[in-house]
Structure 1
Amino acid sequence: MTESNGAEQTGGITQDEGAAPGEAAAQAAMPDWEKRFRAPRVGLPQWAEDAPDRSLFVSNVTGTFELYAWDRATGEQRQATDRPNGTTGGVLSPDGEWIWWFSDADGDEFGVWMRQPFHGGADEPAAPGLAPSYPSGLALGRDGTAVVGRSTDKGGSTVHVARPGAEPVEIYHHEESAGVGDLSHDGTLIAIEHTEHGDAMHSAIRIVRTDGTTVAELDDTRGGTEELGLTAMGFAPVDGDCRLLVGHQRRGRWEPMLWDAATGEETALALDLPGDLHADWYPDGSALLVEHSYRARSELWRYDLAGGGLSRLDTPEGTVSGALPRPDGTVEFVWSSAATPPAVRSTSGQLVLEPPRVPGGIGRAPHSVPVSDAWVEGPGGKVHALVQKPEGEGPFPTVFEVHGGPTWHDSDVFAAGPAAWVDHGFAVVRVNYRGSTGYGRAWTDALKHRVGLIELEDIAAVRDWAVASGLADPGRLVLAGGSWGGYLTLLGLGTQPDAWALGLAAVPVADYVTAYHDEMEALKALDRTLLGGTPEEVPERYAASSPLTYVDEVRAPVYISAGMNDPRCPIRQIENYVDRLKDRAHPLEVYRYDAGHGSLVVEERVKQLRLEIAFAERHLGRRPDRSEG
């Protein structure tokens, strides 16, 4: 693995002045679905709190997702990291002098924090003395102090305070999962999210001083019949202000409140909006930026703390994938819809940051088709699904693309994968099954003990609707997904063998017991919460939820892709499942690649989807690709 030396990077990124004739011809011949992957894009620029002209963003312009420094005052952009498997974990110090970035080995997520000067220079260990670990939160102070959250497979969770010129000091340790929430503006208080009570889905918050002594505790898992989660959204951006913005679930959904760690006072906020709410501080502390997520779309609001006024910011219908308020009162955000590629916009009406271009590079990503909404009666209530379909009349071969998480949700957002299937004549259905976020706490928390089986009941209800409505061809239904979606794919092929014509599983859980013993410690804690114990304590639940249990029932051809360095869905448990299918001489294709839980390399992503599409066409027949003209 090579790591970047900032002094060796070029001073800026040139704009595309037109491709050479041969390159232009190759680009013209490239199908739209590939262009959507290869088109340059940028993430939301993070700016240094005390130097707002200095920003850090992620881009794929080189073909690999890496970190870029952007000096807004001069317009200079500089590639900060350059590694074979890419880099996306990075943050700026408050003064904007340093870029901190996480260095792992080939995507295994186990490593150390490095840093380099903002304008270029050699990389160096950012917190010397800390051994490699999985990252679990990071907060940087104005005096150079760093609060580093860590976890290891055998050492549990720790929090260290690292000061310039001194050895890091451990101030927190527990066997259950925990992480750094935030550091107060004056650097005196640290918010730690922890699950010492044993429920990895519902965190409590402890405020400690930098020596580890406790100041206050907020724990909604105590004293009630239901366990409720909390999350630290950030301390007030003002010295001496001990208020922490806290996300809570006391009214059945995520919403913010203010908690004064010094006095214990809690202040509810009058935010009369349906759905889940996330909030962030405006830089002067006078208002909150509220991200409102409801029915697979999101929008932005401003909440003034003095008068309680709530006003909507101007964002198009679709999904805001991240937003930050600037010192001048404007808000920068990444917006897209299923039909429209992402862009970094501002409430000023301007585009904030155009994707970098290189000579001969591809321009903007082609548009796709919009989504429509389907609400289907399921065994646990109405299930929301998002549908995209190609031109023409159905029924279509249909890909049920299952999201990962499990506590995540699909939204009306631009995604190159589903758009590629539509280009190849497939309808795509994405189901926000029980366990998904965005539909209230009860919907998310329904996912316990009958893990996997609950989600598949909801997917089956939507599948039946898709067939009955004439959208989906019942003989050409594909179950597909990555991570938890890959797990549900393999489990669905075994528990619903007559329903699916094909299965495409990326980085899946395939053998739940072996996966538990090999995965990172934080995921073991989640599994204990979901299933009610370890495989030794509740073996019947792990067996009922493991794809390996039903492998002999699988009838559909199976395609599996797996990262050799994956700490979340480790390779050994996948090989156990593959071996069982091979013993049956079952139609199977396996693709292994040198990365972790997915890839940050564009060419690798294109290759994997190309293999999946080819596998589907071999077994289901080929339909015309409308992007080929």
Structure 2
Amino acid sequence: FRTSVTLPPGVTKADIATSTPLIFPTANGAEAHALFYAPASSTSALQDGEKPPLVVMAHGGPTGRANPSFAFKVQWWTSRGFAVLDVNYRGSTGFGRAYREALDRQWGVADIEDCLAGVRAVLDRGLADPARCVIRGSSAGGLTVLGALAQSDLFAAGTSLYGVTDLRALAEETHKFEARYLDGLIGPYPEDEAVYLKRSPITQAEGITVPVLFLHGGADRVVPLSQAESMRTKLEHSALHVYPEEAHGFRARETIEDALQRELAFYQQVFGQ
């Protein structure tokens, strides 16, 4: 184990989780990728026979990637007793052109299939508690989160951070460059309006029966606050917290700290802790 920075007082190497690459089967005979992190702490441990809760992360983009380099958002969870599965679903960069192009016209399908397949792979290996799996994602990852909640019973809860809930509204409001991006990921708009509607979480809301936390910036012009507000009204067991000054992607330290604390408390409440 090698560090490139000096650890702060009270933190040791045993407190830093490292990633294990996972390759697992997914839909249509394909394979998908993820990074798995076991909980890491020098001061606490699971009870004998206990399996950790699992946080599944769906990255944004959606053609970004989960990176194995040090990430505070991962360490936050692993240092608090959670395992983390950071999914590089089909469409993620870094795995070749064919893998990247596998998300063409399949956003809202392949990404969800791969997140669900990744959870099943982790559970099959006995690496997490099946009763305490949650999923989180930001921006495009928020759409994946909500779709996964609507299409499976694997999760106890989920969190959407400034996430997409209405693809049709996104297509109508976005600028021309991003519009071409959506054409490739879903189909041309408005010709494929029916596809946009079918893959939007806002039309799948009745399938979501577990608690959902929405965290959104009041000044977000990429994915307007109205997307979270509209989705919130359709879900009985949900909560929305707005950071009025934040845009798309939280920037202020106080916001980031509050959002993480709020999300942790949300899961603890769901788990009955």
TM-score after normalising by structure 2? 0.89
The answer to whether residue 127 in structure 2 is matched with residue 471 in structure 1 is: yes
Q: Is the 8 A contact 2:132 2:155 kept in 1?
A: yes
The structure 1 segments of at least 4 consecutive aligned residues displaced by more than 3 Å after TM superposition are: 362-367, 391-394
Aligned to 1:563: 217
The equivalent position to 1:505 in structure 2, one of 160, 166, 171, is 160
Higher strand share: 1
Partner SS, residue 396 of structure 1: coil
Aligned to 1:618: 269
| Whole-angstrom CA distance in 2 between matches of 1:450 and 1:412 | 25
Q: Is the 8 A contact 1:378 1:457 kept in 2?
A: yes
> What RMSD, in angstroms, separates the aligned Cα atoms of the two structures?
2.1
The equivalent position to 2:180 in structure 1, one of 525, 548, 565, is 525
| Whole-angstrom CA distance in 1 between matches of 2:145 and 2:187 | 23
The answer to whether residue 29 in structure 2 is matched with residue 374 in structure 1 is: no
| Whole-angstrom CA distance in 2 between matches of 1:577 and 1:408 | 25
Aligned to 1:603: 254
Matches within 5 A, 1:285-364: 340=3
How many percent identity over aligned positions?
30
Aligned to 1:19: none
Aligned to 2:32: 383
| Whole-angstrom CA distance in 2 between matches of 1:439 and 1:373 | 13
- Larger Cα Rg: Structure 1 or Structure 2? 1
Matches within 5 A, 1:75-474: 340=3, 366=11, 368-379=16-27, 381-390=30-39, 391-392=45-46, 394-474=50-130
1:23-63 CA distances to partner (integer Å, 9 max, x unpaired)?
Answer: xxxxxxxxxxxxxxxxxxxxxxxxxxxxxxxxxxxxxxxxx
| Whole-angstrom CA distance in 1 between matches of 2:92 and 2:142 | 15
**Partner AA of 1:372 in structure 2:** T
Q: CA distance change for structure 1 residues 364 and 483 in 2, over 3 Å: closer, same or farther? A: farther
TM-score after normalising by structure 1? 0.40
Higher helix share: 2
Partner SS, residue 458 of structure 1: helix
Partner SS, residue 155 of structure 2: coil
Kindly state the Cα deviation for residue 365 of structure 1 after the two structures are TM-superposed. 9.6
Q: Is the 8 A contact 2:63 2:91 kept in 1?
A: yes
**Partner AA of 1:607 in structure 2:** D
Q: Which has the higher contact order (CA 8 A, sep 6+)?
A: 2
Q: CA distance change for structure 1 residues 364 and 410 in 2, over 3 Å: closer, same or farther? A: farther
| Whole-angstrom CA distance in 2 between matches of 1:521 and 1:578 | 28
Structure 2: any 5+ residue segments left out of the alignment?
40-44
| Whole-angstrom CA distance in 2 between matches of 1:601 and 1:419 | 19
1:434-468 CA distances to partner (integer Å, 9 max, x unpaired)?
Answer: 01000000101111223211111111111111111
Aligned length: 261
Kindly state the Cα deviation for residue 621 of structure 1 after the two structures are TM-superposed. 3.2
Kindly state the Cα deviation for residue 394 of structure 1 after the two structures are TM-superposed. 4.8
| Whole-angstrom CA distance in 2 between matches of 1:488 and 1:512 | 12
Q: Is the 8 A contact 2:149 2:155 kept in 1?
A: yes
| Whole-angstrom CA distance in 2 between matches of 1:462 and 1:385 | 7
Q: Is the 8 A contact 2:161 2:214 kept in 1?
A: yes
Structure 1: any 5+ residue segments left out of the alignment?
1-316, 318-338, 344-353, 355-361, 623-629
